[in-house]
Amino acid sequence: MSKIVVLDYGSSNLRSVAKALETVANTDHAIKVSNKHKTILAADKVVFPGQGAIGQCMTHLKEQSLDVVIRECILNKPFLGICLGLQSLMDHSDEDGGVNGLGIIPGNVVRFTDNAKDAAGNNYKIPSMGWNQVYQTKEHPLWKDIEDGSRFYFVHSYYVKPEFEADIAGSTDYIGRYTSAAARDNLFATQFHPEKSQKAGLTLLKNFVNWNP
């Protein structure tokens, strides 16, 4: 039986992610939420969800040595990052006065421009909250059966700017075009929340459950 672990570092949306995975997984897959190193390292696949501020996220990861575990997992098994699970993979974030990330994907995390106006002259709201389209910038197994331009659910004030275009898997328009999904080797990570994104989100999670890079 395949073991999929949702990494628990203290985030608040773990159960919804686990429930969504249980919805799309068949009896060949066991879903577990854990912060135990041995359990995470023994998993066949790992999901790293997160929400809130990156400073607290990185502090909790380092206090539990989960930053070391994440780096090891990314070397040898399918890995899915969600929201802060994407942002924390970058080199650095401007949030919380400046915080170093895990440095797995070269690039930075920056805040949406304040007081930006849309074509009608209205201010864009920050955080960006709600449904928005994701445009697939390269082919990937996790995009299987998901139409290009499908809508996913977002809640965020910061977004990632990867250094290399090859790491970008999807983009979204809000104030400007930004990266909303990144991928390299056995790693895939999204700014949006697939567990809150109904059919398209569940399809992406099902693709991850079945992914064998």
Helix segments in the chain, DSSP class H: 14-24, 37-42, 54-63, 66-76, 84-87, 198-209
Name the amino acid, one letter, at 194.
P
Q: Which backbone phi and psi does 138 adopt, to 5 degrees?
A: -155, 155
How many H helices and E strands in the chain? Answer: 6, 14
Tell me how crowded residue 137 is: count the other CB atoms within 10 A of its CB. Answer: 19
Residue with structure tokens 């996220």? 57
Query: Is 73 annotated as catalytic?
Result: no
Query: Is 72 annotated as catalytic?
Result: no
Pairing of strands 105-111, 135-136: unpaired
Check 57, 60, 73, 83 and give the catalytic one.
Answer: 83
Of the candidates 94, 73, 205, the one whose C-alpha atom is nearest the C-alpha of residue 144 is: 205
CA 106, CA 127: separation in Å to the nearest integer? 24
Name the amino acid, one letter, at 73.
C
Query: Is 165 annotated as catalytic?
Result: no
For residues 110 and 126, the answer to whether their CB atoms sit within 8 Å is no
- Catalytic residue positions, numbered: 83, 193, 195
